[in-house]
Amino acid sequence: MAEVSRRKSRRDLNVSHHLEVNNLVKMFGGLIATNEMSFQVDEGESLGLIGPNGAGKTTIFSLIMGELRQTSGSITCFDSEISHLQTHERIQRGISRTYQVPRPFADMNVLENIRVGLMPDNIWQMIMRRPDPEREIELAQSVGFAENDFLRHPSELSIGDLRKLELARTLATDPSLMLLDEVFAGLTVAEIAQMAELINQKREAGMTMIIVSHDLKSLEPLIDRAIAMNYGAIVAEGSFADVMADEQVRATYLGDE
Amino acid sequence: MTGISWRHVALWAVFIIFMLLLPEMVSKGTLRTVIFANFLAIFAISWDVISGRTGYISFGHPFLIGIGAYTTAILSYRFGMPVGLSIPLAVCVTMVAGTLFFLPALRVKGSYFALVTLAFMELMYQLVQVIRPDLTGGTRGMSGVTTLARGAVNNYYLSFGLMIVIAVSMWVLMKTRFGTALSAIGMNEESVRGSGLSTTRLKLFAFMVSAMVAGLGGAFYVHYLGSIAPRALFDINFVFTIIVAVLIGGASTIVGPMLGAFFLTFLLEYLRPYLPGAERYFIYGSIALVIYMYQPKGLYEIVMQQWRKYRVVKAGET
């Protein structure tokens, strides 16, 4: 573990982590999807989560978001336990995720999709206050939508655009920690470059991130640290180069040569 | 989901003026049919608020309508309470009872929600006959309940006034972001939650709005009929009429359920001389099916399509 230095110094200073997962276990019946996972992400850090299909990466995201409830273990955000909170309450704490398969609102155009993300969780304000089209447009443009895309419906968008839309809706909830699930899947080379630039912008702005991707080449420059997992447990942890050098990772993830 | 423009206001105004002039143009018999269409439209709008938008299909709307109807009927008929007080009370009772009973139903999804609501309707049907028949009138119901207006014309104005107030206020409400959020639930509930919104609270609020409209409609309906009979009210055909009205009119709109209600009422009425029995329902079922297969978004969308086509042609001419 080479990248330990910065983390260690922070831990010694007793600075709380942005997100800390402790002994997290999730069982689906007899199947162990998450097996005693423990890791931390510091504020402003970008963590890459890699592993073969079915390793349990998405399950971790669902547990952090509260879409699934853990069997045991704890999840804390700046030292406060969030396990008991519902998904929308966690989002209000600044944690947000994107999905492997984008889930847009099919009968709404791009701006209306973003509008839902911008809504306050307060019915009275929802009714009394008008939507903010300027902010909607700003968000749409920030992820790279052109003006003639604004009124398009999801059925008219490419997978790359759908990922952008999902990102825009996620950003609309004003997160400080983003969980990005397979952001590069199905994208063209140009779109990958665009998405990577977008992620880098957010990183520079101080956003904490956990990124899941199979596209290791694109992932590498976007992360400070990597965790490789398999069968719901951590196999290796450290800098990207160290993790990739790990024999177990090479065996399980990349296959023997 | 877009804003309200002057064109919307103008269209509503034209419709209201037309409806206000209607008693001058048609016979009293037709007027009575329109009264039923008005009430069906109210029930259809109520159903659409929760089911048409969020996709949680309710088979239990007669339960809500029934609570509204029974509450005001019992209060005014048995206890001599003035109607001006019993109707607002009935609406409150519908909202409270509806919320309490449907709270567990909100936790289940899809067809289970439909089944739970259906069970409530059946439960209500059984209960009104057993519990305090001295109040509810048991199987025979009640007759001689105070009526609010005399004659077809007055009753027409009353039912239309109620319907249009409900329709316009629901239309405005659904134009807000609240309406957008409800439609979003119907498209993808997970993503709404993933946008940081409490879908349970949204659904509950939508349900209370729906219950309010159903209670209001039910209360006025019983004071129009002057009688109440459990067999006619808690009838699965009644539920289906409401649902079919929304579906062929166009779910997730306000004009759609109104359109559907009028279409359906008049269809049944004009078929009556030829098919006096239950065969009518066969015809209306087929027509509903054909419309639904041709355009799942209903009559509203068909009209809108024609309108858009017309505008394109017009734009091409000039």
Please indicate whether, in this complex, the C-beta atoms of A107 and B187 are within 8 angstroms of each other: yes
Nearest CB to A169; choose among B178, B193, B195? B195
Is residue A98 in some structural domain? Answer: yes
Domain that holds residue A228: 4-102+176-254
C-alpha of A92 from chain center: 15
Q: How many domains does chain A have?
A: 1
Alpha-carbon gap, residue B250 to B295, rounded angstroms: 9
Lowest mean pLDDT among A157-161, A226-230, B138-142, B304-308: B138-142
CB A233 within 8 A of CB A222: no
Residue A236 in contact with partner chain B when CB distance is under 8 A:
no
Q: Name the average pLDDT for chain B.
A: 88
Alpha-carbon gap, residue A38 to A74, rounded angstroms: 9
Q: How many CB atoms lie within 10 A of CB B107?
A: 12
Sign of the CA dihedral running B74, B75, B80, B84: negative
Query: To 10 degrees, what angle do helices A159-172 and A189-204 make?
Result: 10
Please indicate whether, in this complex, the C-beta atoms of B193 and A87 are within 8 angstroms of each other: yes
Q: What is the CATH classification number for the domain harbouring A92? A: 3.40.50.300
State the average pLDDT over residues B38-56: 93
Please indicate whether, in this complex, the C-beta atoms of A119 and B181 are within 8 angstroms of each other: yes
Please indicate whether, in this complex, the C-beta atoms of A173 and B198 are within 8 angstroms of each other: no
Please indicate whether, in this complex, the C-beta atoms of A131 and B184 are within 8 angstroms of each other: no
Per-residue pLDDT 10s for chain A (257 aa) are 344 444 444 444 556 799 999 999 999 988 888 989 999 999 999 999 998 888 889 999 999 999 999 999 999 999 899 999 999 999 999 999 999 888 899 999 999 999 999 999 888 988 988 888 999 999 999 888 999 999 999 999 988 899 999 999 999 999 999 999 998 988 889 889 989 999 999 999 999 999 999 888 899 999 999 999 988 899 899 999 998 888 888 887 655 44
Which chain B residues contact residue A65 at CB under 8 A?
Answer: 194
Q: How many CB atoms lie within 10 A of CB A1?
A: 13
The CA distance from B8 to the nearest CA of chain A, in Å, is 18
Residue A104 in contact with partner chain B when CB distance is under 8 A:
yes
The CA distance from A240 to the nearest CA of chain B, in Å, is 30
**pLDDT classification of B231: cutoffs 50, 70, 90:** confident
Residues paired with B307 in a beta bridge: none
Is residue A157 in some structural domain? Answer: no
Nearest CB to B196; choose among A88, A106, A131? A88
Count of residues in chain B: 318
State the average pLDDT over residues B125-139: 83
The CA distance from A163 to the nearest CA of chain B, in Å, is 13
Which chain B residues contact residue A116 at CB under 8 A?
Answer: 180-181, 184, 191-192, 195, 197
Helix (H) / strand (E) element for A77: namely strand A72-77
Q: Domain coordinates of chain B in residue numbers?
A: 6-235
State the ipTM, two decimals: 0.84
What's phi and psi for B84, nearest 5 deg? -60, -20
Is residue A77 in some structural domain? Answer: yes
